[in-house]
Structure 1
Amino acid sequence: MELDEALFFLGDFGLYQTIIYVLICVSGQFTQAWHMLSMAFLGGLPEHHCKVPEGLYLNHSVPSSLVDGRVVYSQCSMYKNVSIDNSTVPCEDGWEYSFQSTIVTEWDLVCVKSALVETSESVFMAGVMVGSLVFGQLSDHFGRLRVWLVSIWLQIVFGVGAAFAQDYYSFTILRFITGALEQGVDIVSYVMATEMFSPARRSFAGVLTTLFWASGIMSLALLAYLLPNWRHLQLLISLFNVIALPYWWYIRCFCLVAYFGYLTGLRQFVPVFSTLRSNRNSTHAYEAQMSQTKWPHSECHILS
């Protein structure tokens, strides 16, 4: 018996499916929107100007102009010697920022280094591309649940590592790996979530996952507001999926009961799993069909 046939006997929609669907979408869609778009806040570019040497005044040391009625100071240059002429040089003593704690302010990714912020995001997206090519094949071969959970656990490890990165290059490398693992979580979760429903409802289930993604996008702005320190923000969006650590045991139950329900208390399970509409014949029909089915014994097959 295929999974679609099992779902036909059990019913189209039920409480158990709903719970597991939400769990999958929270870890597989909601939190992945954070990883995908977090660079907008991790790499936020504040207003900045050259740091003025002690004993000098800002308006005497940094070129300025009037823009829309307010004074705007040059971001990348300062006067070489105010007392002699108005020649300028690149900032010599670093920068001062309007707000602190992004990767830009920590590693001074401004002026000649400003392209490094976009480069880091491009490297992350390159990881996403690699992950999209790899993890679909891996999930078909080793089983969706196994690949999905391993991707989540590894994403936690490398995401936390990025939060403690001490330089731009280690941060970017860790973000590349996190981006690849994002696809191991995102793509596989979409397939798992939709496969929990009958073919007639799968389009709806697939569209519904986008609501979790959109909710993740909206909540990210609030998180960034509450956690202005980029390390704290990166740490939170990485550690949130710790809730997925026990998923192996209670999501895997869906696969096992769908295949071996007659051995694990089907009569108690079907009323919860099956449709909220009464379907008194589902248990008897399913038991009869299961008794005639030959079962593969490969765990990878069960979870694929």
Structure 2
Amino acid sequence: MDLEEAFQVVGEFGPYQKRAIAGLVLIQVYMACQSMLIVLVGAVPQSQVEQRDGASSGQQEALQSVSFTDDVDSIVTEWFLIKQQAYKVSLAGSLFFAGVLVGNVVFGPLSDKIGRKPVFLTGLFFEVLFGYATALAPSYEVFAVSRLLVGLMNGGIGLVCFVLTQEYVGKSYWAMTGTLTNMTFAVGIALFAALGYYIRPWRDLATAANSPGILFFLLCVTLPESPRWLYSRGQTERAEEVLRYMALRNGKVITNLTLRRVGTGKPGNHDDRGTGVLQLVTHPVLRWRTMVLMYVWYACSLVYYGLTLGASETSGSRYVNVAMYGLVELPAYPLCIYFINKHWAGRRKSMASFLCLAGSACFCTMLVPENTGALLSVTSLALLGKLMVSAAFNIVYVYTSELYPTVIRNAGLGVCSMSCRVGGILAPFVPSMRALHSSMPFTVFCLSGLTAGCLGLLLPETLNRPAAETLEELSNPACSRVLESKVHLYKDDQWKSNHK
């Protein structure tokens, strides 16, 4: 039997998979805290510089003349990152996303080569280690380097964690597990705002936000390797062992589970020539998909993080604003699940529509005066744009994993995430474009959303179509049609046997 048929026998989303997915999904809370850390530990309070008579021109005397009018403890107040040094706050945020970019590029192909589990656990261990380095940093330079290294690990494990939530379950549950992953990230943003409200010293906040990583690491040590990865690499026997283990933990005893061999390679000696990142450039189908997806991911990240990181600069409590920008995402995910599973909408049209709506909401902010009612204001329209781009971001994760075969799925997601992190690197600086004109940030977000939505319409639909395991299935439509017909026949037989 093929892998989809095996999941039908083992259980597409049994009790064991629910527990495994729950642990992987909850890690998103930890990752959200790390991603948003700079928003609160880099808070910029009001300050004034006192001119002292007879003061020397030395740096120490200049620092002593600075006083902060707000009761805020952050890296700004500790290292006096104001005036000419103010750029260092945004730089620290950009370094984090630069690390995420490198992590996506390195960890994606690496997990395709040596396995999901070892790469995931190694990255999580070092992210916790570097997270404590952030909290204990004796200087800004050490802080900045630690944020780069945390981002490196965060980008790698985020990618592999998402893929594992997909590959532990049957394809019919991919949309749900992907949506749960992104939804929990949004909840993590809101929880981080609450944590920051009660823990004001920035070092204590960084320590508290990093400590749950130890618990998550211990919970994930017992997770098995991805059976889809094992199967795609020709390690059929090991894939069968993992599937039998899942079946046993799901309360099923299966003795005759035998998978069909992939390709013609021998187990443990699977042909690697078609599984490298180079295939994303040389393969005609993958090349076009990757080009479009890279821009879509870039636009999603730029708008998503640009609006989120700008939350602390809007009027009102920074903690309430950060929480609102996290909680506003939650309605987006039920909308995603509803639309992407409808045949008249699907993945492609839903993603493009949400991106265009996000760009339109950002455009409308330029037409609304600053001081208006609470119902229609720049903040409310920005929150609407955040909701729309969150929906698009959620869909693009699920959609991309379905567009790439298993043998190159992590590499494809890694390259797309790389372009995504370019948007993340630029995002901290976009809100500061208000210095040029108040409408400049939203102009950038508007154009990015609209152009990405239009380009997304050029991709193929994947709803109710079988997931490709190898490049041969992607290149030869006949293979996909045979697989699809076998899955449908198997499901019909199961339905008939259950209703006799």
- Is the pair's TM-score, using the shorter chain for normalization, greater than 0.5? yes
1:106 is matched with 78
Other-structure match for 1:214: 186
The amino acid that maps onto 1:34 is: C
Distance in 2 separating the partners of 1:235 and 1:228 = 12
CA distance in 2, matches of 1:292, 1:92: 73
The letter for the 2-side match of 1:259 is: E
Q: Does the residue aligned with 1:251 lie in a helix, a strand or coil?
A: coil
RMSD: 3.0
1:273 and 2:273 equivalent? no
Note the C-alpha offset of 1:148: 0.6
Contact 2:63–2:80 (8 Å) recurs in 1:
no
Helix, strand or coil at the partner of 1:250: coil
1:191, distance to aligned residue in structure 2 (A): 0.2
**Looking at CA atoms only, which structure, 1 or 2, has the larger radius of gyration?**
1
Cα pair 2:135 2:203 within 8 Å, conserved: yes
1:287 corresponds to which residue? 255
Taking the aligned partners of 1:30 and 1:93, their CA distance within structure 2 comes to 40
Quote the residue 1:55 is aligned against.
Answer: none
CA distance in 1, matches of 2:260, 2:32: 44
How far does residue 131 in structure 1 lie from its aligned partner after superposition? 1.2
Q: Which amino acid letter does the alignment assign opposite residue 99 of structure 1?
A: D
Deviation at 1:272, TM superposition (A): 4.4
Q: Which residue of 2 aligns with 1:33?
A: 32
1:53 matched residue in structure 2:
none
TM-score (norm 2): 0.46
Contact 2:47 2:69 in 1 (8 A): yes
Correspondence list, 1:189-268, <5 A: 189-252=161-224, 259-260=240-241
Aligned to 2:118: 146
Q: Per-residue CA shift, 1:181-223, capped at 9, x if unaligned?
A: 1111111000000111111221222112111111101101011
Do the aligned residues in 2 keep the contact of 1:156 with 1:242 (CA within 8 Å)?
Answer: yes
Q: Structure 2 counterpart of 1:270, which letter?
A: A
1:43 equivalent to 2:46? Answer: no
Give the residue type in structure 2 aligned to 1:45: V
One-letter amino acid matched to 2:31 = Q
Which structure features the higher share of helix residues?
A: 2
C-alpha separation in 1, matches of 2:240 and 2:219: 19
Give the distance between the partners of 2:138 and 2:52, measured in 1 at CA.
Answer: 32
Bigger share in strand: 1
Question: Is the CA contact 1:3–1:258 (under 8 Å) kept in the aligned structure 2?
Answer: no
Please state how far the C-alpha of 1:80 moved relative to its aligned partner: 5.2
Q: Is the 8 A contact 2:23 2:220 kept in 1?
A: no
CA spacing shift, 1:41–1:248, aligned 2, 3 Å = closer
The aligned residue for residue 8 of structure 2 is: 8
Equivalenced residue count is 253
Task: Give the Cα separation in 1 of the matches to 2:32 and 2:189.
Answer: 6
Question: Which amino acid in 1 is paired with 2:241?
Answer: F
Aligned counterparts of 2:259 and 2:169: Cα–Cα separation in 1: 23
Compute the TM-score of the two structures, normalised by the length of structure 1. 0.73
Shift of 1:5: 3.8
Query: Among the aligned pairs, what percent are the same residue?
Result: 25
Q: Post-superposition shift, 1:116? A: 1.1
Cα deviations by residue, 1:59-99 (Å, 9 ceiling, x for unpaired): xxx5xxxxxxxxxxxxxxx3758xxxxxxx97653323422
Q: Does 2:157 match 1:185?
A: yes
Unaligned runs of 5+ residues in structure 2 are 55-60, 228-236, 270-409, 411-500
**2:20 corresponds to which residue?**
20
Q: Which structure exhibits the higher relative contact order, with contacts defined as CA atoms closer than 8 Å and separated by 6 or more residues?
A: 1
Q: Which amino acid aligns with 2:258?
A: M
Change in CA separation of 1:16 and 1:142 when aligned onto 2, cut-off 3 Å? same
Distance change (3 Å), C-alpha of 1:157 and 1:291: closer
State the shift of 1:7 in Å.
1.4
Output the CA distance in 1 between the equivalents of 2:22 and 2:162: 11
| Partner SS state of residue 222, structure 2 | helix
Contact preservation (8 Å) 1:136, 1:187: yes
For the residue of structure 1 that corresponds to 2:48, the secondary structure is strand
C-alpha separation in 2, matches of 1:31 and 1:287: 39
Question: Structure 1 residues 47 and 261 mapped into 2: Cα distance closer, same or farther (>3 Å)?
Answer: closer
Letter in 2 for 1:4: E
1:207 & 1:19 partners in 2: Cα distance?
Answer: 16
Distance 2:207 2:193 in 1: 15
- Partners of 1:239 and 1:90 lie apart in 2 by 37
